[in-house]
Structure 1
Amino acid sequence: MDSDAWDERYRAAEPVWGTAPNRFVVEQTGDLAPGRALDVAAGEGRNAVWLAERGWRVRATDFSPVAVERGRRLAAERGAEVDWDVADARTDAPEPGGYDLVLLAYLHLPAEERRRALAGAVRALAPGGRLVSIGHDRSNIEHGTGGPQEPSILHDAAEIAADLAATARDQGVALDIGRAGTVLRPVRTEGGEAQAVDTLVVAERPGERS
C-alpha cells in the first residue's frame, strides 16, 4: 500500500489500532532509562506517545500525513511532546548514531525495501542503544489471525536477524542480536479471543550510552 492508500485507511476508522502501546514495546523498553527514541513508521503514534509519557525524547515518522496528524492530536490530548515528521522509512535518513532506542513496529515491506529501512535503523542507533523490530510472522497466515495475508511482506525472525547483522557489517558497527523468534499476541475477534503470531527481534549496539 502506498501513502495515499494508508491515508484512506486511517480516515476510515479512528483509531485503527487503539491508543494503548503494543505489549512487546512495553516489554522490551520498560527496563531502559529514557533517552532519545526513533519510532519508524509510527502510524497514529500509540507507541511514540507512550514512550514520551515516560520521559523519552521521541521522533516519530510515518509516510501517511493523516497518521502523523492523528499522532500529533493524540500527543496533544495526553500532554506528550513528540517530534513528528512525514517521512518514508525506505528513504528517510535519521541522524547517525543519534538514538538510544529505535523501534520498528509492524513495518511490512518487500525484502529489499525492508533491508533499506533496517539499514537506516541500524545507522541511527547510538552506542549502548537498543533496536526493537516487531511484525506479523509469516506463519500467522496459517496459524494466527489478522494482519497482512501476503507472505512476501511478512516477517521471519531469522531473516530479520540476518538482515540486521549484514547491514551492521556493511556499516562497520557491532550489533548483538539478543532475541529473535516468534511471540503470541491475544486478539479479540468476533468469534472470541484468538492468537496472532508475531516476530520479535531485539538487538543492541555495544558501548556506553552518552
Structure 2
Amino acid sequence: MDDREWDARYAAAPGLVWTAEPNRFVVEELADLPPGRALDLAAGEGRNAVWLAERGWDVTAVDFSAVAVDRGRELARQRGVPVRWQVADVTAYAPPAGGFDLVLIAYLHLPEPDLAAVLSRAREAVRPGGTVFVVGHDVANLSGGTGGPQDPAVLLTPEAVVAGLDGLRIHRAETARRPVAVDGGTVDALDTVVAATRP
C-alpha cells in the first residue's frame, strides 16, 4: 500500500486503526533502557512513540501517512508528551548517522531490497551502545498464525532482519508468539523479534 492508500485507511476509521497501547514486545524489550534519543520509523498512529515519550525519551516519529501522523500528534497531546513528528517515506528517509540511542521499526513490511535499505540506515543511525529493535509479522504467520499481510514477499524472518543489521551485536532474534483475541477466544500471531546493539 502507498501513502494515499494508508491515508484512506486511517481516515475511514472512526478511531485509531491500531490500539493506543504500545506493542507488547516493544514494552518487553525497551522498558528498562535508560531514556535517550529515539527514532520510530514507520510510526503509524504513534502508539510506540508516545509510550517512549512517556518514559522520558526524546522521540522523533516518522511515517508517510499524514493522517496517521495527525492521529499520533493528537495521541501525544492527549497524553501530554512531546514527540517530533515527520511525514516522510522511510524507504527514502535518511536519519543522521549516529544520532540516536534507539531506532525502532515495528510492523514495517516491505519487499526485501527496500527493507534491507531501511535496516541499513537504521543501523547507521544508532550510536555506539545504542539499540535497534525490529518487530513485525513473521513469514511463519501465513501457515501457523493469524492476521497480518498475506504476501510472503513482505513478511519478516529473524534471519533476514539479522542480515540487515550486520555489524551489530544481536541479543534476540526469534519468531515469537503474540496472543490475539479473536471471536471470544485467543489465537497466536507469529512475529519476528530482533534486538541488537551497536558495539
TM-score scaled by length of structure 1: 0.92
Q: Where does the alignment leave 5 or more consecutive residues of structure 1 unmatched?
A: 166-173
- Equivalent of 1:181 in 170, 174, 180: 174
- What is the rounded CA distance, in whole Å, between the counterparts of 2:109 and 2:7 in structure 1? 16
- Which runs of structure 1 show a deviation greater than 6 angstroms over 4 or more consecutive aligned residues? none
- What is the rounded CA distance, in whole Å, between the counterparts of 2:85 and 2:38 in structure 1? 12
TM-score scaled by length of structure 2: 0.97
- What is the rounded CA distance, in whole Å, between the counterparts of 2:175 and 2:63 in structure 1? 25
- Equivalent of 1:198 in 172, 191, 197: 191
1:2 equivalent in alignment to 2:2? yes
The share of aligned pairs that are identical, in percent, is 57
Deviations 1:135-189 (A, max 9, x none): 1000101100000000000001111101211xxxxxxxx4111111111101011
| Structure 2 partner of 1:117 | 118
| Structure 2 partner of 1:171 | none
- Which structure 2 residues correspond to residues 9-158 of structure 1 after superposition, within 5 A? 9-13=9-13, 14-158=15-159
Structure 1 residues 137 and 37: CA distance shift in structure 2, 3 A = same
- What is the rounded CA distance, in whole Å, between the counterparts of 2:125 and 2:149 in structure 1? 27
Q: Secondary structure at the match of 2:132?
A: strand
RMSD over aligned CA atoms reads 0.8
2:197 maps to a residue whose letter is E
Following superposition, the deviation at residue 132 of structure 1 comes to 0.3
Matched positions, count = 198
| Structure 2 partner of 1:168 | none
